């Protein structure tokens, strides 16, 4: 297999490739997305997996199982055309990333033999410099076609926009796109710009087609809904392999959001297969695509492979993880309290409605910031990354729930701005956006059937033991995290507020202190502070 890189701003293609040699061409695409540094197995609710549960066959995924599954598929498909690709978001999500940053990602991704990766929004969580370090260490191309980095010194010239691979004389082009709101959901810095996804992809595809490439795969990090829009609106794309929304597609799993692949009618009348493989390497995507000699997809079939107890973890990886675990064991094992019941922190709940983890974190933030006059707390649901089981709560679990190194912050805004912030928070529930507002000191109702921007009603603020309607003219001190305070996740009203102050300790410490203040025993609850109207 030969490779050729294409630049992000000007697509150029070297000559010398042979013409198609076969009437039909089949490519086996193995893919992952949204791994989020989940190197150890997870439970069915995406929580950390204890050794006893793993031994009982109740856990899934983990890098060691992924290694075995990839090796098994490559062995089974020996002699066929196979590629392993990643739709982004390797960064962030576990203590392994907190401890080792991009070093650990490059180590395992290189060893797995990933052949191409798209940039995810979380690859910018520690700024462009950390992404630049990863690009330097990665032994495979990393692409992002609508990400303009020419004004960012650490990335300029180092991030390709598209890529071409050659399999036995057949060229396959890969185009890419990253969610346009990455400047809101991460920390790319002022030198990085995100261009319109559809416009960028049309240009990338046109460049490849002009160079004679008639088999084109879009490797995207924009989410399942947007992937379907791309399929319907960008001519020339044959297949879409996506990430970002953590969507499970399957022909057998009962909780799947759609079939694998999902077929979408393209602008040229062709059927475009769209696939994505959930998250955290719980599944390995496995899609077989066949093109005819003119570059038309004539077959696309497959099913994601569930990495359950039937997949034996690679022993070498297990041993390496044990070595890497030693420096963080002491921190992880520190007990900060006890939960009398499970604390719900899954994205499926916390990004659409009140959840007990949201209440815990928002209550803790408000309690810690009350000395600065805060009467309201708003925490983005996407900042909550795991649930906590009943029993002892460790600092490791707190860090897994709150892995982004965010700190407590406050800002003064009007009641009208609070309502505007809540409208932002519920503006993309359909897309599973992480901006959903978990709150404390506040009650509100939202109506999903209404258009975005007109969904919030019945906003009430706490007044002693009572509730009263929010005063749109009054000023309120809001406790939040430093990411949201600076406009992250679309909370522009926070960035424009008065008296901004990022004073706080890290949120995991805020959480630990709050649980300790409760006597060390915490009873999870919901109380109707968020109502969903019919």
Burial of 113 (0-12, 13-18, 19+ CB in 10 A): middle
Rounded to the nearest 5°, which phi and psi values hold at 442?
Answer: -150, 145
Contact 191, 210 (CB under 8 A): no
Nearest to 374 by CA among 456, 458, 462: 462
Would you say residue 11 has pLDDT above 90?
A: no
CA distance 515 to 407: 17
Please state, in angstroms and as integers, the Cα–Cα distance from residue 510 to each residue in 44, 308, 373, 504, following that order: 28, 35, 17, 8
Partner residues linked to 241 by β-bridges: 219, 275
Q: Kindly state the percentage of the chain with pLDDT values over 90.
A: 84
> What local confidence, expressed as pLDDT, does residue 464 receive?
83
Give the neighbor-by-neighbor strand order of the sheet with 475-481.
437-440, 376-380, 475-481, 408-414, 498-501
* Region 140-151 average pLDDT: 98
Query: Distance between CA 354 and CA 344 in Å, rounded?
Result: 10
Confidence of residue 23 (pLDDT cuts 50, 70, 90): confident
Using CA atoms, how far residue 329 sits from 96, 99, 316, 408, 521, in Å, is 11, 11, 20, 25, 23
The CA-based angle 111-116-117, given to 5 degrees, is: 95
The two tokens of residue 141 are 């191309």
Structure tokens at 61: 């995924």
Q: How many CA atoms lie within 13 A of 226 on its CB side?
A: 25
- The mean pLDDT value for 459-480 works out to 96
Strands (E), 116-204: 116-118, 142-143, 147-148, 162-167, 170-178, 193-194
- Could you give the C-alpha distances from 499 to 113, 271, 374, 478, in angstroms and in order? 49, 53, 12, 11
User: Locate tokens 């598209």: which residue?
Assistant: 162
Residues 125, 134 contacting (CB under 8 angstroms) = no
Residue range 195-204: mean pLDDT, rounded: 98
Tens of pLDDT, residue by residue over 205-214, are 999 999 999 9
DSSP assignment of 482-526 = HHHHTTGGG-HHHHT-EEEE--PPBHHHHHHHHHHHTTSEE----
Per-residue pLDDT of 299-343, as tens digits, reads 999 999 999 999 999 999 999 999 999 998 888 889 999 999 999
First to last CA, the chain: 55
pLDDT given at position 14:
33
pLDDT at residue 4, rounded to an integer? 40
Which pLDDT score, from 0 to 100, does residue 138 have? 98
Better pLDDT: 431 or 49: 431
Any long-range contacts for 370-375 (C-beta under 8 Å, 24+ apart)? 372/410, 372/477, 372/479, 372/501, 372/503, 373/410, 373/477, 374/410, 374/441, 374/477, 374/478, 374/479, 375/441, 375/461, 375/462, 375/476, 375/477
Rounded Cα–Cα distance for residues 215 and 164 (Å): 10
For residue 463, the model assigns a pLDDT of 86
Domains and CATH numbers, the chain: 2-10+20-316 (3.60.21.10), 334-533 (3.90.780.10)
Q: What is the mean pLDDT of the chain?
A: 93
Please give the pLDDT value at position 238: 98
CB 351 within 8 A of CB 433: yes
CA distance 510 to 369: 10
pLDDT digits (tens, 9 = 90+) for 92-130: 888 899 899 999 999 999 999 999 999 999 999 999 999
Rounded (5°) CA angle 269-273-278: 150
pLDDT score at 123: 97
Average pLDDT over residues 419-428: 98
154-192 pLDDT tens trace: 999 999 999 999 999 999 999 999 999 999 888 899 999
Question: Cα Rg for the chain, rounded, in angstroms?
Answer: 23
What digits encode the pLDDT tens for the residues 482-512?
A: 899 989 999 999 999 998 887 778 899 999 9
């Amino acid at each position: 297999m030969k490779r050729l890189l294409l630049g992000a701003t000007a697509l150029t293609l070297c000559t010398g490739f042979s013409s198609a040699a076969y009437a039909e061409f089949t490519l086996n695409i193995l893919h992952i997305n949204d791994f989020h540094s989940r190197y150890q197995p997870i439970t069915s609710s995406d929580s950390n997996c204890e050794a006893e549960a793993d031994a009982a066959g109740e856990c899934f995924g983990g890098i060691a199982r992924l290694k075995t599954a990839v090796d098994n598929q490559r062995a089974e498909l020996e002699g066929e055309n196979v590629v392993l690709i990643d739709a982004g978001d390797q960064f962030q999500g576990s203590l392994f990333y907190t401890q080792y940053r991009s070093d650990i990602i490059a180590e395992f991704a290189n060893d797995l033999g990933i052949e191409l990766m798209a940039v995810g929004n979380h690859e910018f969580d520690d700024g462009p410099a950390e992404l630049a370090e990863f690009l330097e260490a990665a032994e495979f191309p990393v692409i992002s076609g609508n990400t303009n980095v020419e004004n960012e010194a650490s990335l300029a010239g180092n991030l390709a926009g598209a890529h071409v691979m050659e399999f036995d004389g057949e060229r396959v082009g890969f185009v890419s796109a990253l969610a346009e709101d990455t400047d809101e959901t991460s920390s790319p810095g002022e030198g990085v710009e995100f261009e319109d996804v559809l416009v960028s992809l049309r240009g990338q595809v046109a460049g490849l087609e002009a160079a004679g490439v008639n088999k084109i795969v879009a490797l995207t990090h924009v989410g399942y809904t947007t992937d379907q829009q791309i399929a319907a609106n960008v001519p020339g794309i044959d297949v879409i392999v996506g990430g970002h929304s953590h969507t499970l597609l399957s022909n057998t799993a009962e909780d799947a959001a759609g079939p694998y692949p999902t077929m979408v009618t393209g602008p040229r009348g062709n059927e475009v297969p769209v696939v994505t493989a959930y998250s955290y390497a719980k599944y390995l995507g496995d899609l077989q695509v066949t093109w005819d000699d003119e570059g038309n997809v004539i077959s696309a079939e497959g099913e994601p492979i569930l990495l359950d107890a039937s997949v034996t973890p690679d022993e070498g990886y297990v041993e390496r993880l044990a070595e890497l675990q030693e420096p963080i064991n002491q921190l992880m094992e520190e007990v900060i309290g006890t939960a009398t019941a499970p604390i719900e922190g899954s994205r499926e709940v916390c990004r659409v409605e009140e959840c007990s983890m949201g209440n815990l974190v928002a209550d803790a933030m408000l309690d810690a910031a009350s000395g600065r006059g805060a009467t309201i707390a708003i925490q983005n649901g996407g900042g909550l990354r795991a649930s906590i089981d009943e029993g002892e709560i460790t600092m490791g679990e707190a860090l897994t729930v709150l892995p982004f190194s965010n700190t407590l912050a406050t800002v003064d805004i009007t009641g009208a701005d609070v309502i505007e912030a809540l409208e932002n928070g519920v503006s993309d529930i359909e897309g599973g956006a992480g901006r959903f507002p978990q709150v404390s000191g506040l009650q509100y109702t939202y109506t999903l059937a209404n258009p975005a921007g007109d969904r919030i009603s019945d906003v009430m603020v706490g007044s002693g033991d009572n509730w009263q309607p929010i005063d749109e003219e009054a000023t309120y001190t809001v406790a939040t995290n430093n990411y949201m305070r600076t406009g992250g996740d679309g909370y522009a009203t926070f960035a424009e507020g008065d008296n901004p102050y990022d004073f706080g300790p890290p949120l995991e410490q805020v959480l630990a202190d709050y649980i300790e203040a409760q006597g060390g025993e915490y009873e999870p609850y919901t109380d109707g502070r968020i109502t969903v109207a019919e």
